[in-house]
Chain A
Amino acid sequence: GENVEQHPSTLSVQEGDSAVIKCTYSDSASNYFPWYKQELGKGPQLIIDIRSNVGEKKDQRIAVTLNKTAKHFSLHITETQPEDSAVYFCAASNAGGTSYGKLTFGQGTILTVHP
């Protein structure tokens, strides 16, 4: 089955700096890669996703890049703000066809943005 590795486990940055979180996956058939943000006391919230036919996607201060050859994808947050502090999870799935959308999650990254 799919295995997703996420690094780093903790990341501390100063407000205004950029933050990068990286994930690798093992199943070359995976074709969908979402990123979730989980704040304290809340469930994970989808913040951005990318599909295997796209190399990069941006949404304001957030961007995700995908390297299918190397089987890794990354989350980039620019101009970080204290409210970006949360746990971030990457995930991968091979959905469509005969398989259902089973997401395999990374272990999570605790991001702390210091004012």
Chain B
Amino acid sequence: ETGVTQTPRHLVMGMTNKKSLKCEQHLGHNAMYWYKQSAKKPLELMFVYSLEERVENNSVPSRFSPECPNSSHLFLHLHTLQPEDSALYLCASSQEARRETQYFGPGTRLLVL
């Protein structure tokens, strides 16, 4: 599990706050992903980055803003979120965007009040 780390592990924020989630992978991979995991729903792919370039934006609201400064780091900037955005946000990485095996971090449990 130390291959992909995420901080913070837990976050409580108000709807007017701005916060950022951080993901770091220590596997030498070139692709990184953000997923949203809500109760009783399948994992939802949000964004995909390949070599720091966004290759997928899965109809995610603009209140979620990803950033990939290099192939090891991925951020998810949050602003003016809604209570329904409360979920577990998972980061994953893979060797390449076309390599199927993805390795997940532990996630950030987000609660929006």
Chain A residues proximal to chain B, CB less than 8 Å: 4, 32, 34, 36, 41-46, 49, 89, 93, 95-97, 99-108
Chain B residues proximal to chain A, CB less than 8 Å: 1, 4, 6, 31, 40-43, 45, 48, 50, 55-56, 90, 92, 94, 96-107
CB distance from B102 to the nearest CB of A (A): 6
| Contact A43–B97 (Cβ < 8 Å) | no
Closest-by-CB residue of B relative to A96 is B98
Instruction: Please name all residues of chain A whose beta carbon is closer than 8 Å to the beta carbon of B103 when the two chains form the complex.
Output: 46
A-B interface contact total, Cβ < 8 Å: 68
Closest-by-CB residue of B relative to A108 is B42
CB distance from A107 to the nearest CB of B (A): 5
Which of A42, A95, A104, A105 meets B99, CB within 8 Å?
A95
Which of A41, A104, A106 meets B106, CB within 8 Å?
A41
| Contact B98–A101 (Cβ < 8 Å) | yes
CA distance A36 to B41 in the complex (A): 15
Instruction: Please name all residues of chain A whose beta carbon is closer than 8 Å to the beta carbon of B40 when the two chains form the complex.
Output: 107
CB distance from B37 to the nearest CB of A (A): 9
| Contact A107–B41 (Cβ < 8 Å) | yes
* Contact A43 B102, CB 8 Å, known A102-B48, A107-B40: no
| Contact B100–A101 (Cβ < 8 Å) | yes
CA distance A2 to B53 in the complex (A): 24
CA distance A46 to B95 in the complex (A): 15
CA distance A89 to B88 in the complex (A): 15
CB distance from A91 to the nearest CB of B (A): 8
* Contact A34 B104, CB 8 Å, known A43-B1, A101-B94: no
| Contact A32–B100 (Cβ < 8 Å) | yes
